[in-house]
Amino acid sequence: MLILHFLHYLCVMVTDKRLISYSQALKNIFIILPLLTFIILCIQCHKDPPMHNSYKQDDCSRITDWTDLMNDSLLSTSVMQSIPLIDHKYYLWLNQKNNHLDIRSLTSENFSDLQCLKNWLQNKTLIQLGESSHGTKEYSQIKVRLIKFLHEQMGFDVIAFESNLFECFYTNENIQNLTETQAMRNSIFYGVWGTPDVKELFTYIKETQNSDHPLILAGFDCQVSSNTGYITNHSDFLYEILSKIDTLHASQQMVFDANIINKIVAYNTSYLSINKDSIKVKYNLMVNYIDNHIDLLIDSFPQKPLYPIFLRQSLLSIISQIDFMLYPDGGLSGNPSAFRVRDSSMAANVIFLKDCLYPDKKIILWAHNYHIANTAFQHALYPDIKDMGIYLKDKYNYQLYTIGLYSLRGRTKTDWNWSVINIPVPTTANSLEALLYYCRKKSLFIDLENQIYCNGNKWMYTTISAKTSGFADENMIIKNVYDGVIFIDSSSVPTMLQ
């Protein structure tokens, strides 16, 4: 209101002949125009983020049901004198109303505090949920909560893990006959996400199966992920489909597939390396066989017409698994360049899920920040690698929304040897962790995609650092890497299920 009065005063000063001469008015215009430009920029910088719906953010942020949600006092964090001071303009912008969204619980099934997410997510059909390390309890907690919210209130249908394509699919096909723990062991990387928090998600998945809107479990990794050998069911699945055409041919392919699957599970890289070329030729011949008989195969499965198409993709994923294992010093031995093979395969599997298997459904992806990034980090650990998210951003563009997860302090597990480490406090003001600390909230969300550049959010458009695996600084222009960020003040190590 004060600004409006000031603008009115300026207009009078410029135009009122009773106060000034015409020549003086012209001079005043040239003096006042720069000032007007500055005022407009300030207004634009502090205005609410652009909305893509019909209701105001003030409406969605108004909470009437506070059940299981933290009030402002409980949400605020303790002072840390060791955190570097940030630019005052950044501090003001971060704490301006509507420039961040308070997340008032990591676990509550009361979603009153999440309603404003609909402003940014309502037109999206593919949402990626990241994590800066696999070994952080709070990341799983908030992701499980977000998945329930997206499923119940925004119509999302599929949760796809950074886990094996076939094992997750086959688990979902049989989930009614499995306990939550069995379903987890048969599908996802149990040594990574075998926690009580993720088990709660699997309980939820099972509970929705008898509803009008079941949540579908899927995976998109080429790597074997179960710890039960569930991948060995692939050979039986292959026979079930190919035997509709020729039982003898199907039996031969089943024997071959079972042998290769066993070698993969045993991580017998010696055998796979010696026979790599012939193995890939045989799998590609199977793919061609399916292509040549696809109409007949689909007709043979009137209740499951996508089974043959899924088998085809699973064969291509097995080829990628072998390439990943045999990449020079790659696979489990950790050559970062091997991730070129894995991430391109994961992207192909996600595209298959979205365009072929579930074309009319909205999908949530669960993966590491590294895999979901919309554009490449200036990698400390993985230089010059095109990750899965880059492929997906190129293809789906504004249908996609990518959320990175970060934390300030506490403990986590490293991503390669699972050792527990203390997260070092940021030593530079030019870091995501230092910037978001000054919101002084236990958990929050910031939209990046819809921001308009101003001095207060300049940090989004310039190179800053953010920690991956709890300790390694990755340099990035964060607005290019993610569409939004969830920030957790304090992290801890999850309890692992037996």
**Measured between alpha carbons, how far is 281 from 200 in angstroms, rounded to an integer?**
42
> What is the per-residue pLDDT for 328?
77
How would residue 3 be classed by pLDDT, with cut points 50, 70 and 90?
Answer: very low
CATH number of 60-230+345-491: 3.40.1660.10
Cα dist. 414→133, 140, 394, 453 in Å?
7, 15, 30, 35
CA 129 to chain centre: 2
**Ramachandran category for residue 440: left, alpha or beta (phi over 0 → left; psi -120 to 50 → alpha):** left
Instruction: Report whether 364 contacts 162 (CB < 8 A).
Output: no
The helix/strand count (H/E) of the chain reads as 22, 11
- The number of residues in the chain equals 498
Q: What is the pLDDT of residue 407?
A: 97
Compute the average pLDDT of residues 33-37.
51
As a whole number of angstroms, the distance between CA 123 and CA 329 comes to: 42
Q: Kindly tell me if the per-residue pLDDT of 143 is higher than 80.
A: yes
Whole-model pTM over 0.75: yes
Write down the mean pLDDT value for the chain.
88
Which of these, 168, 130, 167, lies nearest to 146 by C-alpha position?
A: 130
Give the confidence band of 470 by pLDDT, cuts at 50, 70, 90.
Answer: confident
Least confident of 140-144, 253-257, 324-328: 324-328
Torsion-angle region of residue 19: left (phi > 0), alpha (psi -120 to 50) or beta?
alpha
Residue 47 has pLDDT above 80, yes or no: no
Q: What percent of the chain has pLDDT over 70?
A: 85
Compute the distance between CA of residue 286 and CA of residue 245 in angstroms, rounded to an integer: 13
Please write the tens of the pLDDT for every residue from 392-411: 999 999 999 999 999 999 99
Mean pLDDT on 124-148: 97
pLDDT at 12: 34
DSSP string over 164-232: EHHHHHHHHHTGGGS-HHHHHHHHS-HHHH-SHHHHHHHHHHHHHTTSSSPPEEEEEESS---SS-GGG
Q: What's the CA angle centered on 256, arms 252 and 262, to 5 degrees?
A: 145
pLDDT tens per residue, range 236-260: 999 999 999 999 999 999 999 999 9
Q: What is the pLDDT of residues 215-226, one digit of tens each?
A: 999 999 999 999
State the Cα angle at 245 between 242 and 248, rounded to 5°.
Answer: 75
Higher-pLDDT residue of 57, 201:
201
Q: Under a CB-based contact definition with an 8 Å cutoff, are residues 186 and 129 in contact?
A: no
Is the separation of the CB atoms in 367 and 132 below 8 Å? no
Mean pLDDT across the stretch 193-216? 97
